[in-house]
Structure 1
Amino acid sequence: MTSDFPTAAQTKQELRLQALERRDALEIDDRLIWDEAIVERVLALPAFETAGPVSAYWPMRSEADPRPILEALHAKGTALCLPAIVKGAMLFRRWAPWEPIVPGGFGTLVPAPEQLQVKPTILIVPMAAFDRRGYRIGYGKGYYDKALAELGPVTCVGIAYGAQEIAAVPDEPHDQRLDWIVTEAEAIHCG
């Protein structure tokens, strides 16, 4: 017997596609201005006063760009890393601005394999969609949820544009909540 009700995964896929369409439709000039506001809000969070190592992502397509955050943290002497997917799991490799990056699959760029693996204390994560409870929809592979569960206590900050907000993410037991969501307009504490 089949159900006429969509599963959480089917609903997430639909919400993901809608949110990505909204994000992709945003004007690039607006996104560049909003990225500056996101940088200021993220760097003002209390967690970044004693941060390190901090992980972010290399932006793809129309994602909010965390690279200026990483550059500012690097200038303060904060250790940085970027995620890489290796054998089906997310790990984190040391990285600093202007160091080489290589293709990492799924359209990402990552530090070279010979870079030291580190454990971040703060993760800056991308989002396709989010809600104010701190749940996010990513790209559907669950790598961040698995990594957050394995890392133990870390501070997780999602960055996105306000247009990506939805009323409620259909969260599942494996979904990990974010501590903060930062948009061009506000920093939302979800913890």
Structure 2
Amino acid sequence: MNYAKEIRKEKLAQRDSLTIEEISEKSRIIEKKILSLDEIQSALNIFIYVSFRSEVSTLWLIEELLKNSKKISVPITHVAERRMEAIHIEDLSRDLVPGYCNIPEPNEERVRNNVTDPFNIDVVIIPGSVFDERGARFGYGGGYYDRFLEKIPFAVRIGLAFEMQMVEEAPIQPHDELLDYIVTEQRTIKAKRL
């Protein structure tokens, strides 16, 4: 197994060892930090992942952003085409159903009628397994977010992570897309994306 796979496996195992209470407590701190960012306050269109398992929770954050009149889009994964699409949602409980790997995704009607043009997205909030202070990020190995981000280089990119997911230097590949911010329960890191 190569180093990148090993570090991903190790960090995901550490994250999976968190209790529901720890995930909830740390996530709430992170969510509040996100809401205070100038880039979030000035954004009109925000693309954000719907949290699953031990990821930094985004459910309360999505609710707050909707209350603040932000246009929210979430991912739908097209596995056969190896791509993601942004779908506008208005209500978490009404608009989402279990999708790829049981991850909550927009229902068929939303997917059919509410595709968001990626060029309208101001901010992208994404999960991952491993992060470093340069803004490097490992996902889960599918490359969906990297391909999505590559198309919209102008959108502000924010990764959400627990501090335990930070490493000194993630061994990234040339196709790996960098982030502008990484927000953990302990700090907000402004990366240096070129």
Q: TM-score, normalised by structure 1?
A: 0.90
Answer yes or no: is 1:98 the counterpart of 2:93.
yes
How far apart in 2 are the matches of 1:186 and 1:112? Answer: 35
Aligned partner of residue 100 in structure 2, secondary structure: coil
Gaps of 5+ in 1: 1-5
How far apart in 2 are the matches of 1:133 and 1:152? Answer: 16
What is the aligned length? 183
Partner of 2:132: 131
Gaps of 5+ in 2: none
Partner of 1:187: 188
Which residue identity lines up with residue 45 of structure 1 in the other structure?
A: L
Partner of 1:157: 158
Q: Percent identity?
A: 29
Residue from 56, 73, 77 that aligns with 2:69: 77
How far apart in 2 are the matches of 1:121 and 1:139? Answer: 24
What's the CA shift string for 1:84-111, capped at 9, x where partnerless? Answer: 1123211100112332212321331211
Answer yes or no: is 1:89 the counterpart of 2:87.
no
How far apart in 2 are the matches of 1:113 and 1:94? Answer: 12
Measured on the aligned residues, the alpha-carbon RMSD in Å equals 1.4
Which residue identity lines up with residue 144 of structure 1 in the other structure?
A: Y
Answer yes or no: is 1:111 the counterpart of 2:106.
yes
Q: TM-score, normalised by structure 2?
A: 0.89
Residue from 14, 33, 55 that aligns with 2:6: 14
Answer yes or no: is 1:39 the counterpart of 2:36.
no
The Cα of 1:68 is off from its aligned counterpart by: 1.3
The Cα of 1:114 is off from its aligned counterpart by: 2.8
More helix by share: 2
What's the CA shift string for 1:168-190, capped at 9, x where partnerless? Answer: 11111101111100011111111
Which 4+ residue blocks in structure 1 deviate beyond 6 angstroms?
Answer: none
How far apart in 2 are the matches of 1:138 and 1:49? Answer: 26
What's the CA shift string for 1:41-78, capped at 9, x where partnerless? Answer: 11111101221211111211111101111111111110
